[in-house]
Amino acid sequence: MNQSEFLKTISKERPVASVSNKEILDKIQTEAVQMGWDVISKPFDCTKWEKGRSFIDIGNHSYEIFPSPFSKSYKGNGDIIVIRSLEELESFNINEKVVFLKDNIAKEPMQPKIFPFYYPDEHKHIIDLLEEKKPKAVIAVTGKHAMCGLDPFPMFEDGNLSIPSAFINESTANNILRENGTVNLNIDSNNSNEKSRQIIATRKAKDKAAGKIIVCAHMDTKYGTPGAIDNAAGVVILLKIMDMLKTYECIYDIDIIPFNGEEYYEVKGQLEYLDYIKDDFDAIKLVINIDSPCHKDSKTAVSTYNVGEKLSATLCSEMEKNSNIVIGDQWYAGDHAVFAFRGTPCIAVTSSNLFESVLQITHTQRDTVDQISDDMINQTAEFLTGLVKSVAEY
């Protein structure tokens, strides 16, 4: 594998069910098979999203708006009502209105309504109220996302939400709200049923396995981003680890997983893998999740979850071999979280400047290969390979 060329090849918009997503799944599988790994493919049903020009016309002006990913489409007229708080949403009649959500009620994105791992009560209450009260559509007035570079951000990203939705920034909202009269609203957003799959590259222990080690990195992106750091760099590290472990005889089964769905509202790939290992979940000895690593101005940061003294000592010993591998803060917005919340020992791997710099470019067009350090990819892959081997030897 030519590392630089492969990174460039996969650093393009690749949401679940897209043509590029399918092409990259095939490339990863081909590389894995050529290295001698067994590859399991788990198909799943999913939704592909396409959008067109969306707008609000009012008075003599037309304003561009952004359809929420996976929104239902809408075309029609309606009167605006502004909702600024949960209390207003509870008490106001919004039936058949075009609802503008702004200020406190639009301060953060909502979790999808049937998200399997985390669905806060407040989010459920907001979504339940909206669906019960049946507005024509919802326009969220948002700003800078706290956990990525989007500004404005979609408040809703949910193919199961029954209400058409879009989002705009504060300035656009203020211009619209100064006008008087009925708005003409067009949300051009279309969903179609598709098939995709989750692949698992696996190597079985030579004899009866002492357990399972999982190394994972999501391979999909949001719509509208090349996803170089988030998370093409992580996929390249996965492949390098596979190459370095291809002849290693381990007492553990090893699963290498390019998760296909971390950026998708129903996390279908993750659910397929959890179903695949449901009878062996207790056999998992360690999960290593790689997400948004190797920014050009960073070191590699590792954080630990449910890690005992022995594993902690092994990790420290491996880190001492490379000063560019450092301890970082815990974070839970990644694929390790589902394992960590169940008590499984986990290590999350990311850029050391994740919160200061990397999150400002993720999910945007700025997430390109020029943000990545090839040298840190090599160093991180070597460190993680050494860690897997050290864990397997005690």
- What is the pLDDT averaged over residues 177-191? 94
First-residue to last-residue Cα distance in the chain: 31
What are the Cα distances from residue 53, in Å, to 50, 73, 190? 11, 11, 12
The domain boundary, picked from 136, 154, 187, lies at: 187
Per-residue model confidence (pLDDT) at position 60: 92
174 HSE (CA, 13 A, CB side): 4
The pLDDT tens digits for 311-321 are 999 999 999 99
Range of the domain at 229: 3-47+195-392
Same domain, 150 and 119: yes
Q: How far is it, in rounded angstroms, from Cα 299 to Cα 285?
A: 26
CATH of the domain at 8: 3.40.630.10
Per the DSSP assignment, residues forming a β-bridge with 88 are: none
- What is the pLDDT averaged over residues 358-384? 98
Domain count of the fold of the chain: 2
Same domain, 208 and 352: yes
Q: In what order do the strands lie in the sheet with 38-51?
A: 38-51, 189-203, 253-257, 212-216, 284-290, 346-351, 300-305, 325-327
Dihedral, CA of residue 288, residue 290, residue 294 and residue 298, to nearest 10: -70
100 HSE (CA, 13 A, CB side): 22
Same domain, 303 and 351: yes
Per-residue model confidence (pLDDT) at position 206: 84
Q: Please tell me which residue, 258 or 3, carries the higher pLDDT value.
A: 258
Same domain, 174 and 284: no
Query: Predicted confidence band at 181 (pLDDT cuts at 50, 70, 90)?
Result: confident
CATH of the domain at 129: 3.50.30.30
The domain boundary, picked from 127, 155, 187, lies at: 187
Per-residue model confidence (pLDDT) at position 11: 98
Same domain, 203 and 336: yes
Same domain, 43 and 57: no
- 122's enclosing H/E stretch is helix 121-133
The pLDDT tens digits for 98-146 are 999 999 999 999 999 989 999 999 999 999 999 999 999 999 999 999 9
The domain boundary, picked from 162, 187, 212, lies at: 187
Same domain, 118 and 18: no
**Percent of the chain's residues with pLDDT above 90:** 96
311, amino acid identity: L
The pLDDT tens digits for 4-50 are 999 999 999 999 999 999 999 999 999 999 999 999 999 999 999 99
**Percent of the chain's residues with pLDDT above 70:** 100
pLDDT at 209 over 90: no
Same domain, 258 and 334: yes
pLDDT at 1 over 80: no
Same domain, 65 and 37: no
Beta strands in the chain (DSSP E): 38-51, 54-58, 61-67, 74-78, 80-83, 98-101, 137-141, 165-168, 183-187, 189-203, 212-216, 253-257, 284-290, 300-305, 325-327, 346-351
Per-residue model confidence (pLDDT) at position 172: 97
Per-residue model confidence (pLDDT) at position 208: 85
Per-residue model confidence (pLDDT) at position 207: 85
Per-residue model confidence (pLDDT) at position 2: 87
Say what the pTM is: 0.97
Same domain, 343 and 235: yes
Same domain, 210 and 79: no
Query: Predicted confidence band at 182 (pLDDT cuts at 50, 70, 90)?
Result: very high
Same domain, 156 and 279: no
